A = this chain, B = another copy of it.
Amino acid sequence: MKLTEAKQQFISSWGAFGTHWGINRSMAQIHALLLISSDPITQEDIMEELDISRGNTNMNIRELINWRLVERVLLPGERKEYFTAEKDIWKVIRQIVKERKKRELEPMLHLLDKLEEVEGDRRDKNVKTFVDTVSSIKNLGRKADKTLDAMINAEENWFLGTLMKMLK
């Protein structure tokens, strides 16, 4: 397979992959393109390569910057902005985990705390099932939260190495 075709396949399936995880296609594709670009590229380059509009490109680049997966780069003597993506995949994953944890897991845990305190007699089967379900989700969520914290602060080799040994 030629590089051009391989790149296209990578971008296209990274895009499809993203859509299964609540990330829009353009954003995932822009990220994919930046991941496999050896040097910083401009918004124009992205628009052309992916055949998407200026507005779309701009909006999703900014979103990727919000997620701290992409950085603006100013090249000396150039007026245009260039963009580059973090290439260390472990860092990329940690960053995504960190953001999603903050945006989704933590608010969910707070909500579950509140819901657990529902009024009513726990001998009532309906109350009991509700509280039991909420509690068990919360407990698992708490453990996941701690594990993810450890992961966010860990080096890949330490974290995955220890994990792999433990699982042997």
**Interface residue ranges of A119-168 to B (CB < 8 Å):** 119-120, 125-130, 132-134, 136-137, 140, 143, 146-147, 150, 156, 160, 162-164, 166-167
Main secondary structure of the interface of A (DSSP, over half): helix
Nearest B residue to A114 via CB reads B1
A117 at the interface (CB under 8 A from B): yes
A149 to chain B, nearest CB (A): 8
| Contacts A3-B118, A115-B1, A120-B3 given; does A20 touch B104 at CB 8 Å | yes
Taken together, the copies of this chain in the complex come to 2
A67 at the interface (CB under 8 A from B): no
Contact A118 B167 (CB under 8 A): no
A66 at the interface (CB under 8 A from B): no
| Contacts A17-B104, A38-B129, A119-B3 given; does A89 touch B136 at CB 8 Å | yes
Contact B10 A115 (CB under 8 A): yes
A82 at the interface (CB under 8 A from B): no
The 3 closest A-B pairs by CB, nearest first: A38-B129, A150-B167, A6-B118
A52 at the interface (CB under 8 A from B): no
* Complex CA distance for A129 and B114, rounded to whole angstroms: 48
A158 to chain B, nearest CB (A): 10
Q: Which residues of B contact A167 (CB under 8 A)?
A: 146-147, 150
A93 at the interface (CB under 8 A from B): yes
Query: Interface digits, A100-118 against B, CB 8 Å rule (1 contact, 0 not)?
Result: 1000100010010011011
Q: Which residues of B contact A37 (CB under 8 A)?
A: 129
Contact B17 A134 (CB under 8 A): no
